Structure 1
């Protein structure tokens, strides 16, 4: 789920060393909130103001709402960093925000504190905005009253015990503490999250058929939560199966390599066609030195008529240290690296020597053999 959110998003700031990104869907809900507040809420709450003031306050309220969401996610991130858990980024999107943690919490207490920090921050903001609202009048009072209510709703909503929402993470912390089994706790919390999501979907359908407002949003929210919970369940299962498995147990040891002087024609005929689908890419070596990898993607970028005149040395992707792993590394770490770097395969290095290749297909075959 979290990986998909980075697509179609733009970095707008860095806070506490964490990139803050905005997903394109944020602009949709930003426009809807601004329009709704400017044409309905503020004209009723402060009828004495001119039309332009409603739109200014509507825009400001929408911006402050997403600042509140960012503050909520930064609260999670702050506590995470106290436990030495790095944060890849915070992404604001149509349903709020997501802080992408690089690692799981070390224990149930850390999980609970990280999870509860978000709702507490929303309740804190709600209280601050409420105090401002009761000490102002007219348009400002209406603005801060809205922000107080919406942050209260945000805090309460996130406490719904549906993983991966904050309440679901609190539930996982409780199950984890009781059973001492992180994977079991994650699966149970994810299952409960899917149940909550199904309730949203069914209730959303009921609202749609009865003509009530909010049904479509509830359907979208239910679908999103269901997919997120399902993804969390699958990831927990994957972690459990691959736990303790090392790269050396899964990697291909007999490297089939290409010489950089080969033409694309020769590479395709003698390697890609000969070794079949299982080899979507090959390491490029010269005199025993690993130079990089060439895949079908690079080949397809070259017109077919030019294959006889273009060499592997012209198209291979040069090796980078960030794209290598050691034989004793965990397979899960290798898989996360491939996902992060959007690679189908990475080289296994030992003492500055290429000793193997690990691929997503190879990991998938291992899981099939394990019956997962």
Structure 2
């Protein structure tokens, strides 16, 4: 959609079922009694689908604005607690961060207003009672989504807005992240506490759901805080300090059978750059090659099963290592091909990042930088 991959996690089925059963078995039936059962189920099913599309519109807006501000988007995934647009890198300026974060709640708010207007226009038609009820529910849930996401706490959109403001005021994106993630952990614990209170008060389902959301907010905010500290630790370190120079490469014409049986490739690493006359074509993994049926391995080249170079981070040796970290985390291979012009200079893996951070953590260099 709009050139962006969209995925659906199996847990989305939980959202669909909860909305379907909740509206068909209670909400719509109580508000509009004495209707045929199929009408309740049909209206509830359509409402659930439109709500999921509303979540998708929210995330698509983030992705589109991110691309307009020079931030690449890996994909969008809908799951149990809403949606997630995975960005390959961070915004370069507070203004870009503000635009990327702010558009999501704005889209949800606009959708809520549009659904409310549509419900108001149809309210005069007695035969449209279920339709009005569905539109009113969609209006309320989208406005609630906009308000909740605007709360100034990471990982919510409001946390990104808070980060942008603190970044603009202080000039420090790391300090801004620390403020936003601290607010996120506070909000998460508040939600957990309120959820537990609701459980004790008898509202078991609502309480558990709120506690789960709070725990998710705490976990993600804590993870973002850890990533910020990692970027601070790696500040000033170039990619060349972490990369493995002149890695073993695989010619693109090599068959999968040759690749899997050649000791040069089988026992040293789990992924190798693919080249053709010095040009870097991509990255082939042992796992990807193993997935090729044995009957096809002798006739299938690694070029056909590799990850194209366009789908792998390609930093320059002098690029900041801190900037590469989120790209590695978002990339499915967790590797980067370091290019100097068109020449392959090296390869960086998540293990290389861990090695550098371990050295910095234990060295007097890191301790002196933090004093």
Residue aligning to 1:34? 20
TM-aligned CA deviation for residue 122 of structure 1: 2.0
Give the Cα–Cα distance (whole angstroms) in 1 for the partners of residues 66 and 335 of structure 2.
Answer: 30
Residues 185/319 of structure 1: CA separation in 2 closer, same or farther (3 Å cut): closer
Residue aligning to 2:70? 84
- Report the 3-state secondary structure (helix = DSSP H, G, I; strand = E; otherwise coil) of the residue aligned with 1:24: coil
Residues 49 and 139 in structure 1, CA contact (< 8 A), matched pair in contact too:
no
Is the counterpart of residue 179 in structure 1 residue 170 in structure 2? yes
Residue aligning to 2:158? 167
Residue aligning to 2:200? 209
Give unpaired runs (5+ residues) of structure 1. Answer: 1-13, 273-278, 303-309
- Report the 3-state secondary structure (helix = DSSP H, G, I; strand = E; otherwise coil) of the residue aligned with 2:136: helix
256-265 or 62-71, larger mean C-alpha shift? 256-265
Give the Cα–Cα distance (whole angstroms) in 1 for the partners of residues 194 and 359 of structure 2.
Answer: 41
Give the Cα–Cα distance (whole angstroms) in 1 for the partners of residues 4 and 302 of structure 2.
Answer: 34
Residues 258 and 267 in structure 1, CA contact (< 8 A), matched pair in contact too:
no
Structure 1 residue corresponding to 2:186, chosen from 187, 195, 201 = 195
Residue aligning to 1:238? 230
Give the RMSD, CA atoms, in angstroms.
3.7
Give the Cα–Cα distance (whole angstroms) in 2 for the partners of residues 333 and 180 of structure 1.
Answer: 17
Give the Cα–Cα distance (whole angstroms) in 1 for the partners of residues 114 and 280 of structure 2.
Answer: 59
Is the counterpart of residue 252 in structure 1 residue 244 in structure 2? yes
Residue aligning to 1:113? 99
Give the Cα–Cα distance (whole angstroms) in 1 for the partners of residues 63 and 197 of structure 2.
Answer: 37
Per-residue CA distance 1:58-110 (angstroms, 9 max, x = gap): 01111111122222223333433442333333222111122223332232233
Residues 88 and 331 in structure 2, CA contact (< 8 A), matched pair in contact too:
no
Give the Cα–Cα distance (whole angstroms) in 2 for the partners of residues 98 and 263 of structure 1.
Answer: 36
Structure 2 residue corresponding to 1:66, chosen from 52, 56, 59 = 52
Is the counterpart of residue 219 in structure 1 residue 219 in structure 2? no
Give the Cα–Cα distance (whole angstroms) in 2 for the partners of residues 117 and 67 of structure 1.
Answer: 16
Residue aligning to 2:369? none
Residue aligning to 1:307? none
Residues 108 and 176 in structure 1, CA contact (< 8 A), matched pair in contact too:
yes
Give unpaired runs (5+ residues) of structure 2. Answer: 367-371
Give the Cα–Cα distance (whole angstroms) in 2 for the partners of residues 142 and 220 of structure 1.
Answer: 28
TM-aligned CA deviation for residue 254 of structure 1: 7.1
Give the Cα–Cα distance (whole angstroms) in 1 for the partners of residues 176 and 338 of structure 2.
Answer: 33
- Report the 3-state secondary structure (helix = DSSP H, G, I; strand = E; otherwise coil) of the residue aligned with 2:166: helix
Structure 1 residue corresponding to 2:80, chosen from 78, 87, 94 = 94
Residue aligning to 2:7? 21
Residue aligning to 1:370? 360
Residues 42 and 139 in structure 1, CA contact (< 8 A), matched pair in contact too:
yes
Count of matched residue pairs: 344
